[in-house]
Amino acid sequence: MIAPKTEQPSSDAEATAAIERLVERYDSEVFDLERPRARLRIDGFGAGPRDIVIEDGQARLEMAHGHPDAELVADRQTWEAIASDLRGGLSAFRSGRLRVRRDLHLGVGFLAATAAPGEGRLRIRTVKTAAGSISTMEAGTGEPVILIHGLGATKASFLPTIGALAPEMRTIAIDLPGFGDSDKPLRGSYDAAFFSRWVIALLDALGIERAHVIGNSMGGRVGIELGLEAPHRLRRLVLLAPSLAWLRARPWAPYLRWIPTQLGAIQPAPRPVVEAIVRHLIPGADQEWTAAGIDEFLRSYLTPNGRAAFYAAARNIYLEEPGGEAGFWTRLRSLDVESLFVWGRRDAVVPAAFAKHVREALPGARHLLFDCGHVPQLERPRETHAAIERFLRTGRPD
């Protein structure tokens, strides 16, 4: 819902008072900070930026100084609307009127912690499981839905999906181990089976017997593994441009098998160099969602364990055996969970041509093709979420 327009404050003092009201609403039970202290910089509401410091479960407003952990930028009218309307912050972010940079987890957590109270409100917390700690973003009530991000992404890539499904379902977006704000074991295997075990551990910790699963890219591959290894824990599967075993030659495979991914803990290049390379490689880096996603990737990648996890996961995608008795395409034929595959016509990472091979392995699966790239839930949110909602409710996407 778009926050209603309000009259512009008559002075900087009134604008500051509006921000102070926003800070006073902070509810630490909604946002598990998982760090002793954090500094958020807000800009655009008055004469100059101000900082919000979160510490010991409290938030306070200070003059801006030093280097903030996250930045929230909006125009004066938007800030006033956010302060006046408890639903305004997340709505302004989803509509693009408010930008969150540096640390999306922190920025969105603050917006959630100052939003309207209620049973289905957005909540960000860390769940302790038998496998390790998993960071989650949850909202809504009803049948549970687990949302699993792709390689290098975080739970924030499913924020629009949470907004679309939470009115009818309990939506839980997670950071896979090795990514975002979840644990990053240095010696983790970071293959589909490894991730699958952690998701099952999360279901156990939350007391969820069965759940729908939605996965994008590598998260889709994890969803498939869950369906193969623990079908009794799943209801329906939605696979958004899922990562699949390569069918073409893999000339680097013999060499990659012998390289320890723990070497990723050594950072060979400074952040400006890494950031420049990433922004050059990713199309649309000047768009807000993509830019925020790059920030999230760098936040994890620029930690030693985060780099090791990224390299291990990427290598496992490349090395997965396509054929043979234990090969991916052989195993895929035994997937018995109702599944919807969503492909992007312009996807250069997992080409839509893979749909042909999936149809041969799974004649009963459903398929949709959208005019988008590799992340349908961000690039074509309306069509993607409408199809997901219908499929999870009826078993048919149309």
- Would residue 7 count as lying in a domain? no
Q: With a cut of 50, say whether residue 9 has pLDDT above it.
A: no
- Report the amino acid identity of residue 41: R
How big, in percent rounded to 5, are the helix, strand and coil portions of the chain? 40, 20, 40
Nearest Cα to 376, choosing from 226, 267, 217? 217
| Cα(22)–Cα(81) distance, integer angstroms | 10
- Would residue 6 count as lying in a domain? no
Instruction: Find tokens 């409408």 and name the residue.
Output: 386
pLDDT of residue 149: 96
Dihedral over Cα of 189, 215, 126, 170: its sign = negative
DSSP 3-state assignment of 239? strand
| Cα(170)–Cα(78) distance, integer angstroms | 29
pLDDT of residue 71: 93
Residue 103 shares a structural domain with residue 193 = no
- Hey, what are 122's tokens? 């957005």
Higher-pLDDT residue of 379, 195: 195
Domain range for 22 is 12-113
Higher-pLDDT residue of 358, 257: 358
Mean pLDDT of the chain: 86
- Would residue 211 count as lying in a domain? yes
Residue 98 shares a structural domain with residue 247 = no
Q: With a cut of 60, say whether residue 189 has pLDDT above it.
A: yes
Question: 343-370 pLDDT, tens per residue?
Answer: 999 998 899 999 999 999 999 999 999 9
Higher-pLDDT residue of 77, 211: 211
| Cα(205)–Cα(207) distance, integer angstroms | 6
CATH number for the domain harbouring residue 62 = 3.30.1050.10
DSSP 3-state assignment of 348? coil
Domain count along the chain: 2
Out of 14-23, 61-70, 82-91, 221-230, which region has the weakest mean confidence (pLDDT)?
Answer: 82-91
Boundary-marking domain end, from 113, 137, 159:
113
pLDDT of residue 281: 45
- Would residue 118 count as lying in a domain? no
- Would residue 3 count as lying in a domain? no
Boundary-marking domain end, from 56, 82, 113:
113
Strand partners, 343: 369
Out of 15-24, 33-42, 304-313, which region has the weakest mean confidence (pLDDT)?
Answer: 15-24
- Would residue 303 count as lying in a domain? yes
Boundary-marking domain end, from 113, 137, 162:
113
Q: With a cut of 80, say whether residue 285 has pLDDT above it.
A: no
Residue 147 shares a structural domain with residue 296 = yes
Q: With a cut of 60, say whether residue 278 has pLDDT above it.
A: no
Residue 167 shares a structural domain with residue 20 = no
**Biggest CA pair distance of the chain:** 72
Residue 85 shares a structural domain with residue 162 = no
Residue 348 shares a structural domain with residue 295 = yes
CATH number for the domain harbouring residue 333 = 3.40.50.1820
Residue 163 shares a structural domain with residue 67 = no
Residue 29 shares a structural domain with residue 175 = no
215, 239 contact by CB (below 8 A)? yes
What pTM does this model have?
A: 0.86
Residue 20 shares a structural domain with residue 84 = yes
Residue 326 shares a structural domain with residue 374 = yes
DSSP code of residue 369: E
Residue 170 shares a structural domain with residue 317 = yes
- Would residue 4 count as lying in a domain? no
- Would residue 381 count as lying in a domain? yes
| Cα(344)–Cα(356) distance, integer angstroms | 14
Residue 44 shares a structural domain with residue 153 = no
Confidence of residue 41 (pLDDT cuts 50, 70, 90): very high
